[in-house]
Amino acid sequence: MSLDGAYDPDNLFARILRGELPCAKVYEDADVFAFMDIFPQSRGHLLVIGKASRARNLLDVEPGDLAKLIAGVQRLARATRAALKPDGLAVSQFNGAPAGQTVFHLHFHVIPRYAHEPLRGHAQGTAADADELAVLARAIAAEID
Ligand code: AMP
């Protein structure tokens, strides 16, 4: 999908938000929802999405919704640092399939980086063990202010 097009209300993350598909939930408030990436690029890779906006990407979103979403990203990034003590922490976000986007509901990746550990591939490989993701989700959730 290019940068243009309509929001699909049945996209994967919309379905997770509605509880139609499972996820390892980390955090939820009135504005944002965070859960573990099922194909983690590193240990603790999570996703932060907005709950109300029907933005597919950064270009679509209302600035007020973006402000709430990025505040949530910072909150989750801080909790991830406290829980997992990574050596670094990448925040990424892709717009349009040619840029690497695979799910068209605006989201940010929070990806802990560990010294000397290469990043695994994006949205590929074997799905992570659900129990391991649940343990990580609880550890990160416990550090949210
Ligand atoms: P993007 O490619 O930037 O649109 O990011 C979508 C992300 O969703 C990728 O990192 C995928 O690994 C991740 N993903 C795909 N299916 C699921 C799922 N069922 N639960 C959690 N994350 C998923």
Instruction: Give the binding-site residues of ligand 1, using a 6 Å CB cut-off.
Output: 12, 23, 37-39, 94, 100-103, 122-123
Candidates 47, 109, 110: which one to mutate for ligand 1, based on the most atoms within 8 Å of Cβ? 47
pTM of the model: 0.98
How distant is the alpha carbon of residue 60 from its chain centre? 18
Q: How far apart are CA 35 and CA 24, in angstroms?
A: 5
Question: Among candidates 38, 32, 24, which has minimal Cα distance to 66?
Answer: 32
| pLDDT computed for residue 107 by the predictor | 98
For 41-53, write each residue's pLDDT tens digit: 999 999 999 999 8
Q: SS3 of 110, please?
A: strand
CA–CA separation, 41 vs 130, rounded Å? 15
Is there a catalytic annotation at residue 107?
yes
All domains in the chain, ordered by first residue: 12-141 (3.30.428.10)
118-138 mean pLDDT = 96
Nearest C-alpha neighbor of 39 from the set 129, 145, 105:
129
Question: Ligand 1 centroid vs 61 CA: distance in angstroms?
Answer: 19
